[in-house]
Amino acid sequence: MVLNIVEYPDKRLRQKSKEVSSFDEDLHLFLDDMYDTMIDQSGIGLAAIQVDNPIRALIINLPDEEGNQDKEQLLEMINPVIVEKEGEVFYQEGCLSVPTFYEDVKRFEKIKVNYQDRHGNTKTMEADELLAIAIQHEMDHLEGILFIDKLSYARRKKFEKEYKKFQRERKNKLSKSA
């Protein structure tokens, strides 16, 4: 089932997500809904809080070289913690909760993450390149942080202006077609 995405500047995105303690069927159904929502919105990652459920869960499904998202490659991370990090890298990020806006953000180049899978099994993963960036982006959501928070003052101001324009235009479009 496709869920509604909470969009900036909605304050619900600012909550700190809670640790997951029951790895039951409700969690599994919710993770499946997160997947449906991410694919429906053509996203490569999604945190639970973006569909209004502040629990420490995120999913990532990176496209392969042909641009296909193979569900076999779907990564589900519950209660993730970064235990090692090194280097730095800039990458142009976007977010389903901040539609139409993309900007360069600084991240660690390589990370090591401890997390649990949907059954509560403990896992460790080393990640670099786009996967490392996506994990850091989604983990920020668990702390109520958005990628636009990492922009310089001038870029943030530019963003606020552009985003207001986008919101206005979309509202106009909707009222015309209704």
**DSSP helix/strand/coil, 73:** helix
- Binding to Zn ion (CB under 5 A) within 79-108 occurs at 95
Q: How far apart are CA 93 and CA 156, in angstroms?
A: 14
Count of positions on this chain that bind Zn ion (CB under 5 A): 1
Nearest distance from residue 8's CB to Zn ion, in Å?
Answer: 9
Query: Of 7 and 23, which CB lies nearer to Zn ion in the complex structure?
Result: 7
Nearest distance from residue 47's CB to Zn ion, in Å?
Answer: 7
Cβ-proximal residues to 69 (8 Å cutoff; 6+ apart), any chain: 39, 44, 61, 62, 63
Burial class (CB in 10 A: 0-12, 13-18, 19+), 95: buried
Q: Verify whether residue 138 is a known catalytic residue.
A: yes
- Catalytic residue among 138, 143, 160, 162, which? 138
Nearest distance from residue 137's CB to Zn ion, in Å?
Answer: 6
Q: How far apart are CA 115 and CA 91, in angstroms?
A: 24
Residue of this chain nearest to Zn ion (CB atom): 95
Binding site for Zn ion (CB under 5 A): 95
Q: Which residues are catalytic?
A: 138
